[in-house]
Amino acid sequence: MNYYELPRTLGALKHSSFARQLSQERTVKDELRANLICKLERGETLFPGVMGYEDTVIPQIVNAILSRHNFILLGLRGQAKTKLARLLTGLLDAWTPYVAGCEIKDHPFRPICKRCRELVLEQRDETPVAWVKSEDRYVEKLATPDVTIADMIGDIDPIKAAKSGQTISDELTIHYGLLPRANRGIFAINELPDLAGKVQVGLFNIMQEGDVQIKGYPIRLPLDLMLVFTANPEDYTARGKIITPLKDRIGSEIRTHYPPTVDHGISITAQEAWDKRSSPVAVEVPQYIRELVEQVAFTAREDKRIDKRSGVSQRLPITVLENVVSNAERRALRSREHEAAPRVLDLYAALPSITGKLELEYEGELKGGDAVAREVIRTAVGKVFTSYFDGVNLRQVVQWFELGGSLRLSETTPARDVVKELTRIQDLFDFTAKLGVGEGDSDAVRASAGEFILEGLYAQKRISRNEEQEFTASDRSVREERPGEEGGGGRRGAGDFRRGGGGGGRRNLN
């Protein structure tokens, strides 16, 4: 039945196909449970777009709904807690009737507010009925210390009393807060521990007993709600943050987590990041770059200089990938190239999208956010590089630098120039096949692959790179090739070093 065919009066509703279902004492939790059971029987996806929780978080949420529990999602930032809460609307009926004009979406057959009770008694079957969509039955509030009982529950409205001619103690003079306005729907509170204690008292009282006092007047509000909360585990378990009676009334405590594997993280980032965009430049993101972006987040989560209690949000790889693509796009536009591929150096250019998402411990603060982020990137490059080139003999590439070769590859250098310079390194592009890159690929992709190999060798400290982005032989390899004067044996002269197979000494590219 489409929207325009839905009954518009109480009498028409009583004689419609909805009558039997509405006449039952079915709560919102019953509705969620019934629709969930149907989806499970049909094998449908319950939370589309949420990845990595199939065997952990989602089964616990399913159990909570089947048990008709209010529940809380505990997890660090960027773990899709709010997204999960919002997706619960997919388990509600597509359309739900209510008494037209009611602020709290009263049930036409069982109104709870004084205004609707009187209206139904007066107009009976002619009582007007309106309909609300499933997504409009979700109310969300970010908890902050300044939230009051009036915001959550309601307050006396003297202006309404004056206009209606009612006494200030009359129920009709109440201005309803967020909780009553979420009646017959889902009410979500983010960062629950930030609510003041007296507001938490108001919450658990209405959850359990269904009544509340507004300005000293007892008001019976048997609201029909599913309550969902989110919180950081550190705050939720801290003494004094959550009052015990409220914790006791929350049916299920569900822990969320970051992606368990890099592949899961890549899938989430690919889904959420804005990397496929309208542009005069065709940007191709190689798989190893996607792995590298994700590995940065995983490495940061393991770094002791980064606060574990705060976490490293999944938003980090999403924004980093967007910045990396943008930097490659900018380079191609400036170079008048029609194709672009992100490089490792684009990741360093994306530092502004990393540093703001890292909460540092004392040691990290001493070192500085930029320095910590750069070291995290370098470590991540080393891990991804090893996954592709473990056991591959790259000695001849390293030797090119040991024999005096050097390259300065700026992140603004056009792809064609990078390829031209990298060609000087003997057999370098033979190794890019490990990355799935060959001679038939564009200059942008080949430049990215070649530079990735050099950055990987730099991450393993087999070659060096300075702040001017110039690759040279590492100090360690030079010492191994040229023993100290005391050792005597076979030291090569500086002139011989410069004339080695390095392809003609140092050249700079800007």
Residues 290 and 245 in one domain: no
Give the per-residue pLDDT at 484: 46
Q: Give the H or E element holding residue 444.
A: helix 443-459
Residue pair 213/190 in contact by the 8 Å Cβ criterion: no
Give the per-residue pLDDT at 24: 84
Which residues touch 510 (CB under 8 Å, ≥6 apart)? 408, 410, 412, 413
Give the per-residue pLDDT at 381: 97
Give the per-residue pLDDT at 169: 64
Residues 270 and 369 in one domain: yes
Residues 310 and 436 in one domain: yes
Residues 295 and 388 in one domain: yes
To 10 degrees, what angle do helices 443-459 and 369-389 make? 110
Residues 424 and 363 in one domain: yes
Give the per-residue pLDDT at 503: 42
Give the per-residue pLDDT at 449: 96
Residues 206 and 302 in one domain: no
Give the per-residue pLDDT at 510: 43
- Determine the structural domain holding residue 394 and report its residue range: 262-509
Rounded Cα–Cα distance for residues 306 and 361 (Å) = 5
Rounded Cα–Cα distance for residues 383 and 385 (Å) = 5
Which of 255, 278, 308 corresponds to the end of one domain?
255
User: Any idea which residue has 């730099």 for tokens?
Assistant: 458
Residues 274 and 189 in one domain: no
Give the per-residue pLDDT at 489: 40
Rounded Cα–Cα distance for residues 446 and 50 (Å) = 34
Residues 351 and 272 in one domain: yes
Give the per-residue pLDDT at 480: 52
The enclosing domain of 162 has a CATH number of 3.40.50.300
Give the per-residue pLDDT at 236: 84
Tally of structural domains, the chain: 2
Residues 177 and 290 in one domain: no
Residues 222 and 267 in one domain: no
Rounded Cα–Cα distance for residues 225 and 107 (Å) = 13
What does the DSSP assignment read for 84-132? HHHHGGGGS-SEEEEETT-TT---SSS--SHHHHHHHHHHGGG-BEEEE
How many residues make up the chain in this entry?
510
Averaged pLDDT in 10-residue chunks for the chain of 510 residues = 85 90 88 96 94 94 96 94 96 94 92 89 94 95 89 79 67 82 94 89 74 65 89 80 86 94 94 93 96 97 92 95 96 94 95 93 92 96 96 93 90 92 92 93 95 95 88 68 42 35 43
Residues 425 and 312 in one domain: yes
Give the per-residue pLDDT at 470: 87
Which of 255, 286, 320 corresponds to the end of one domain?
255
pLDDT digits (tens, 9 = 90+) for 103-119: 999 999 999 888 899 99
Give the per-residue pLDDT at 507: 45
Residues 425 and 473 in one domain: yes
Which of 255, 286, 316 corresponds to the end of one domain?
255
Edge-to-edge strands of the sheet including 252-255? 138-142, 185-190, 225-231, 71-74, 252-255
